[in-house]
Amino acid sequence: MTNKIIAAGKPLQGKALIPGDKSVSHRMLIFAFLAEGKSEIRGLSRGDDVRRTAAAIQNLGATIEPLSDDGAAGGDDVLITGGISGAKEPVYPLDMGNSGTGLRLMAGVVSRFDFLSILIGDESIHRRPMARIVEPLSQMGASLDGRAGGTLAPLVIRGGNLTGIDYAPKMPSAQVKSSILLAGMGAKGVTVVREHTATRRHTEEMCQILGLPIETEVAGHSLKVSLRACNVPPFKLNVPKDPSQAAFAAVASSIVKGSEVEIENVYLGPGRDGFLKVLLEMGADITVAKRGENTADLLVKSAKLRGTVVSGQLLADSIDEVPILAVAAAYASGQTKFLDASELRAKESDRLAAVEEGLSRLGVNVKTEADTLVIEGNGGVPANLLKGERIPCRSFHDHRIAMALSVAAIAACNEADSVKALSEIEIDDFDAVDTSWPGFLEAFTALEKN
């Protein structure tokens, strides 16, 4: 576990190097495993979460080879040979590391097979709630058990002979929905998931792209998804850039004076453009140039932000970006509220508590009221970043908390000309960043050099 000291930066200029979308990468790997034949994926995320899913499908029988571009091996580009016919019982537990998405999605996948699979992860994953997938997968006919009465990992799963269900998750979760749908692809009859508040639709989009028998029905903020058993064809697809990572560059470019940054080919499909909507409501200067059906190029210039209220569908669509949006709120003028954000307490950390502690240490007026996060922005650099001290901050082994606090420290450069010595922050366990964005700090340093 490595501590990292982050100091004030410089205005950001140029093109941000954003990794491939993590959520899409997970699903493309899984669909390639299920597909009978060879699939090509280009632009995969290099984060540890995605590497864990790649290792899991290899342990289940898939083979993964690097593809070459102009004779050079590309770690982001792979050729996968998969197929249900080659699936095998894993000899060892499938270690999903810090990836809640990976563990929950793979639980749905292995529930299709009549062999034994054990899913494990790191300390954080073993604290995260799993009853939300154990319940529906058990109803479909799989046998699942785990710690605390089957509510916590490790999960022990023996699947096979599944039957589709009609299920309404108790809380919005794309991971739960996807776990059920991935199991439903190998179940008898029709599998239906009804969401009262629609969540991100990466799995549905993959099914639609590959021509699988899936139907979606939107009514207001709700979503009904129906899927029949099907075989997955091999494919060739590119992974767009990750909006959750793009949000860090967008917020930094908005709050660091004199910045102008291009972010290319960002995925902005259903449920993934929430961070953009929030920033625009706050007064951000962002030009959106549509590139494909669900992708766009963003040009972000620094701007004076104002407080806002984030709730309901908008909160669901920006749930993973709340830590960095909270930093935007800290630099904005006025109050920002994130309402009814209980789901943030069940992420890699209790993100409501982690954000409150981290921003408080920087001198921000922030508090949680039940499951609501309230931030009073002063329109400038947080007070403690102007004291010329070293401020210890905890990441809680959460990549998004570590990255958000880093951006907050970098933006202190706004007062570099008026303050003799700006504070540095020391973030513990900074290696957690590798979960989603290896090279995060290097990407920002490259923008500062332009």
Please list the active-site residues: 320
- Residues shown for the chain: 450
Q: What share of the chain is helix, strand, coil (3-state, %, to 5)?
A: 35, 30, 35
Rounded Cα distance between 119 and 75, Å, is 25
Closest CA to 436 of 3, 10, 18: 18
Can you name the residues that pair with 20 across neighbouring β-strands?
Answer: 241
Q: Distance between CA 173 and CA 198 in Å, rounded?
A: 9
Q: Is the bond preceding residue 154 a cis peptide, omega within 30 degrees? A: yes
Residues 6+ apart with CB under 8 A from 443: 16, 17, 18, 249, 437
- What is the phi/psi pair of residue 439, to 5°? 85, 15
CA diameter of the chain: 69
For 225-250, b/e burial (b = at least 16 CB within 10 A) is bbbbbbebebbebbbbbbbbbbbbbb
**Cα separations in angstroms, 114 against 79, 161, 190:** 27, 8, 20
User: Which of 6, 4, 2 lies closest to 252 in space, CA to CA?
Assistant: 6
How many angstroms from the chain centroid is the CA of residue 411? Answer: 23
Tokens 């449920």 belong to 271
Could you tell me the end-to-end alpha-carbon distance of the chain, in angstroms, rounded to an integer?
31
